[in-house]
Amino acid sequence: MRPTLLRASRARRDARGYTAVEVLIAMTMFAIGAAGVIGMQRVAIQGSLDARRFDLANSIAHEWVHRLERDTMRWTVLGSPPAPPITAQWINPTALTSCSAATWCKPTIPASPTHIGSSPAFDTLGRELPPATPTIHHVFCVQYRLRQLAPTPIAPSSTIIRAEVRVFWARSELQPIDNCDTPPVNPDGVTAINTYHFLHTAVTLRPNTL
């Protein structure tokens, strides 16, 4: 083979080799870029989901604050010491004892259809749910506790109950709670923050003196 033809053949082989390397480099760069984009999309989607759930939890917490405030409308007679009447649904004397500052009260989940307006269990869209079944799965759960700040007031207006409401739900990488009556992890446990997100709010309750 002539030297000129030999050099031309080697040049063609070298050109093909460099082209293959360039393709591999391009594919590697594309894979790295795609992995970065996928990672950013995952973070964005998870952040959006967490923000949406926090927004729903905030709405649920305020709904329960309004329920407790409505319950004080039945508190029209002051005793000694003053206490809400037994006819109150959530702030009655039994609740004041059992749902103390150190104990979170788990409201009873009413059966369907009476759960509307009084259930502490909600689905992923923030809708109230009856007790859990194989086809009904709880996502958000509500608990509350009470503390009477002025048990022997000078005037009716100084009778104050501090109510604290908390909403908890499973972290996005975990399965939903499924049943608020028997959550998979005790929300009062020291490791509960590894399983749940929590949202707290508080309100001051006073008797209806009108």
**What is the per-residue pLDDT across 39-64, written as a single tens digit (0 to 9) for each?**
676 666 677 788 899 999 999 999 99
For the record, the structure tokens of 80 come out as 């000694």
Q: So where are the chain's domains?
A: 3-205
What integer pLDDT is reported at residue 125 of this predicted model?
Answer: 92
pLDDT digits (tens, 9 = 90+) for 133-177: 888 999 999 999 998 876 554 544 457 888 999 999 999 889 999
Q: Using an 8 Å Cβ cutoff, are 41 and 122 in contact?
A: no
CA gap 82, 78 in Å, rounded: 5
Does the pLDDT value for residue 129 go beyond 80?
A: yes
What is the rounded CA–CA span in Å between residue 202 and residue 141? Answer: 16
In the predicted model, is pLDDT for residue 198 greater than 50? yes
**Amino acid 83: pLDDT:** 63
Measure the CA–CA gap between 164 and 45, rounded to whole angstroms: 31
State the pLDDT at residue 186. 94
> Which is more confidently placed, 80 or 125?
125
On whether the CB atoms of residues 123 and 129 are closer than 8 A, the answer is: yes
* pLDDT value of residue 15: 53
Give the integer Cα–Cα distance in Å for 157 and 62. 23
Q: Which of 98, 102, 179, 184 is nearest to 141 (CA)?
A: 179
- Report the predicted TM-score, pTM, of the whole model to 2 decimal places: 0.74
The per-residue pLDDT for 177 is 94
